[in-house]
Every structure is written in C-alpha cells, then in structure tokens.
Amino acid sequence: MKRCPTCNRTFTDANLSFCIDDGTPLVPAAAAEDETTRVSPSSSSDPPSNQRPETYQPRDWQTPAYQPPDFQNAKYEARQSRTWPWIVGIIAIVVIGLVGLGVAAALIIPNVMRGAANRESSNSNVQQQSENSPDLNANQPGSNSELDNSNENMNTTPDGDTASLPPADEDMVLADLTALEHEWTVANINADKKKLDRILADDYVGRLSDGQNQSKAQYLATIERDTSIERWDFEDLKVTLKGERASLTGVLRLQLRDRTAAFRFTDKFVWRDARWQAVSSEVSRIE
C-alpha cells in the first residue's frame, strides 16, 4: 500500500508512483507512518530543544516540486499521428476528383460543341433549302403541282372531250420516236404481238418492199420470231412535225449472222391517247 504525503490518500495499486490528484510521489504507508512518528511533536520524555546536541539538524521534509509528465502534449502528438493520414487521404481524393472532372470536361465539352455546331449547320441548310425551294412537293410524283401541270396540258375539243396536247418541240419528238423505233424493232424480232398491238394504231397500213399493203391485223398474224438478227442501228433519222402528226425518215441497218442488210424507211405517227402511235410505214431495201 502507498500513501500520498500531501493529501494522505492511500493507494493499493503497486504500479502507481504518483498521486493522481496532486502528482506528489507516493511513499509506502509504513514508512510514512514512521516518518510521521518522527516529525510529530516531542513527548514529555524527549529532551528540550536547548538540551539537544549541537550536531542535531532537523530533517527538511519539504518535498521537491513535482514535475508531472506532459500527458497533454503526448495525447496531442498521438492525436496528430492518427489524424494526418486521414487528412492526406481526403486531400488525395479531392485532387483525384478534380482531375477526373477536368478529363471528363475535356472529352465531353468538345463533343457537345461539335453537336451544337452540326445542328446549327443543319438548321441553316434546311432554312436555305426552304428559301430556295418554296414548294418542296412540286416535283414529287402524285403531288398537286404535278396534277395541276398535267391539267394545264389538257385542252377541250369542240365536242367537249379532253385530250392531251402533242409535244411541240421537234428535238423532243425525235428522241421519243427514236426510242419508239427501237422498241418496235425488238417487238418485231421477238414477235411480241402485245407490244406491237400497242405501238400500231388500229388504222395502221404498212407498205412492204414488194409494193404490197398490209393492215394491222395482217401484220400481227404473219409476224414470226427472227433469231438471225444480231444487231441493228438507225442512221440519218429526221423528223417532220405538224401538230399532232409526225413523220420519221431514216435508215435501218441490220447485222445478221452471215451478212448485213439495210432498209430505208418512212414511218408516220399520230398523237393519240397521250402517246405516239404508228399509222403507216413504207420500207425499201437498199442494195
């Protein structure tokens, strides 16, 4: 057992060396009692002070000033040692977050700006197209504008019937009749009576090279497939246009398997049912 000589508090902890109240070094309890006995007032049996030996010196019981360990500084240093890793970690997290935001901004902002620029460019292009083409449906098949144009090409005959006006441009008529001649030649080679029936008018009359005339019915009845023709060409095509009637002259040159043949022809057409139909043809062989 130990006792504090200052506050006389006793402690049973053998490992305790200082008083927990005032910091005074503890002393064994028995020794303290002996010291108390020695410093207690003298009894009647003790010799008076004037009779004590001169060599006697009273014991100085004043204890040296106690210097307690700096527990507060130790706790503060320990707290600092435990806190600085957290501070460093938080700073590192903040720095990483800022770097991540910077990288994301560098990647996203250019894309957003390019998208905005593309949208602005497309809007300006659409606006420019709308300004240059006020009626976008004018050229669409089946549009009202096309119907109006077709109606403008229709005229009313004296008996009240409607019919399309024939083309008035000779170059356009020449191109149309040239295409029709190629179609006519293919139909003759293949004996395509259905296509020939559409090309020839009902009042068609053909004059053969031997001088005989042939009607549409006779033409369709006697036509046969000809596989000897390998190639054909039209030369010197010329068109004469008079209102709804047109005349086409030229030379048809055929390449057969073993020879060539050439025919000079004059085909006459009439504009009926909004198309050209053959009403007569005259063919003569070129020797």
Percent of the chain with pLDDT over 90: 38
- Structure confidence at residue 196 (pLDDT): 95
Residues 198, 204, 208, 212: is their CA dihedral positive or negative?
A: positive
CA 168 to CA 242: how far, in whole Å? 9
User: Model confidence over 211-237: pLDDT tens digits?
Assistant: 889 999 999 999 999 888 989 999 999
Task: Reply yes or no on whether the pLDDT at 137 is more than 90.
Answer: no
State whether CATH 3.10.450.50 applies to domain 167-286: yes
Other beta carbons less than 10 A from residue 9's beta carbon: 15
Task: Reply yes or no on whether the pLDDT at 139 is more than 50.
Answer: no
- Structure confidence at residue 17 (pLDDT): 81
As a whole number, the mean pLDDT across the chain is 75
- Phi, psi (degrees; rounded to nearest 5) at 224: -135, 155
Pairing of strands 260-272, 162-164: unpaired
Closest among 134, 113, 131 to 123, alpha carbons compared: 131
**Tally of helices (H runs) and strands (E runs) in the chain:** 6, 11
For the chain, which residues make up each domain, given as ranges? Answer: 2-51, 70-98, 167-286
Q: Which position has the token pair 């500084």? A: 73
Q: For the ranges 45-49, 175-179, 244-248, which has the lowest average pLDDT?
A: 45-49
Q: Residue 198: which pLDDT band, with cuts at 50, 70 and 90? A: very high
Pair 111, 117: CB distance under 8 Å: no
Q: What integer is the mean pLDDT of 122-131?
A: 51
Pair 35, 62: CB distance under 8 Å: no
